[in-house]
Each structure stands twice: as C-alpha cells, then as structure tokens.
C-alpha cells in the first residue's frame, strides 16, 4: 500500500472520528414521534438519535461526511432499499435503527472507496506523470549501468 493510499485512509478515519464526536455531542434521546412523523427512527444508536424529525444534513458533521462519502452513501442506501423499500422503517436491530445500520455500512464502504481512489491515483501518477523514484533507476539506452 502506497503513501497516498495510507494518507487517504488516515484522513477518512479522522473524518469518521469527527463525525462520531459530533454525533455524540448533538444526539438526543430517542422518542418516537407521537404524530407518527414519516422520518421513522432517524439515525439511532442505543437510544441516541439524530434525524428523527429533522434532516441529518442540518448538522455540519453529517453534511461534511455526506458530501465526502457520497458514493458510499449511495451504495448503502441502495442496499437499504432492498430491506426497507419505503425507507421509513421503525425497526431496530440490536438497538440500532435501520438508518443507523446504513450509516455503519456507509462508514465501512467509505474505506474501500478511498482505498480505490488512492490506488487509482497512484497508478495514474506512476504511469502518466512519471514517478521520480522510477525515473532515476532507468537503464540508459545504449547499455548497462555498471562501469568497466
């Protein structure tokens, strides 16, 4: 694994640490909406919620993660659609709402996303922009590198 890939994965880890700290600070106790709000359970983790009656995008930490991890969010939501076609589930699995599990899936997929971005970036750099490390080890045109 190259340096660029490692930097992207560490940056992604820092983003998710920021996200979970923001979630912990901004979350509120889960209470089902007595009017049956169509948002369902929101993003709920063991009685701590955001997005039950409001959009998660109202929070800066959520908005940052959403836009930086958009491809992962799209894949995770497509998978969620299989299990919850109306996307308003009121179910909990081991204390985590279905939307919460989608968020966990997004987080895991995001590491794969940034690994591939870094890998493709490194391939591009080595192939088209000539990595200086490989250019200095090239053999001259007329022969060998050893001297008589």
- What's the domain range around 41? 3-12+19-123
Over the stretch 49-70, which tens digit does the pLDDT of each residue have? 888 778 888 999 999 999 999 9
Residue 8 maps to a domain: yes
Over the stretch 81-108, which tens digit does the pLDDT of each residue have? 786 666 555 677 788 888 888 899 999 9
Residue 82 maps to a domain: yes
Residue 93 maps to a domain: yes
Residues 46 and 92: beta-carbon distance below 8 Å:
no
Position 21 scores a pLDDT of 95
Three-state secondary structure of 27-93: CEECCCCCCCCCCCCCEEECCEEECCCCCHHHCHHHHHHHHHCHHHHHHHHHHHHHHCCCCCCCCEE
* pTM of the predicted protein model: 0.74
Residue 46 maps to a domain: yes
Structural tokens at position 79: 């998978």
Residue 142 maps to a domain: no
Position 70 scores a pLDDT of 93
Position 145 scores a pLDDT of 56
Residue 62 maps to a domain: yes
Of 28, 139, 19, the closest CA to residue 67 belongs to 19
Residue 110 maps to a domain: yes
State the total domains in the chain: 1
Cβ-proximal residues to 49 (8 Å cutoff; 6+ apart), any chain: 27, 28, 29, 30, 41, 42, 43, 97
Q: How far apart are CA 17 and CA 14, in angstroms?
A: 5
Structure confidence at residue 17 as a pLDDT band (50, 70, 90): very high
């Amino acid at each position: 694994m190259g340096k660029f890939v490692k930097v992207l994965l560490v940056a992604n880890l820092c983003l998710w640490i920021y996200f979970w700290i923001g979630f912990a600070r901004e979350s509120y106790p889960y209470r089902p909406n007595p009017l049956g709000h169509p948002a369902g359970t929101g993003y709920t983790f063991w009685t701590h919620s955001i997005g039950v009656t409001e959009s998660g995008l109202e929070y800066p930490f959520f908005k940052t993660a959403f836009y930086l991890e958009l491809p992962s969010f799209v894949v995770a939501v497509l998978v969620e659609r299989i299990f919850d076609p109306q996307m308003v589930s009121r179910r909990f699995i081991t204390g985590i709402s279905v939307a919460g599990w989608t968020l966990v899936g997004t987080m895991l997929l995001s590491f794969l996303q940034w690994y591939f971005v870094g890998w493709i970036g490194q391939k591009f750099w080595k192939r088209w922009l000539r990595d200086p490390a490989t250019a200095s080890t090239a053999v001259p045109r007329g022969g060998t590198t050893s001297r008589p």
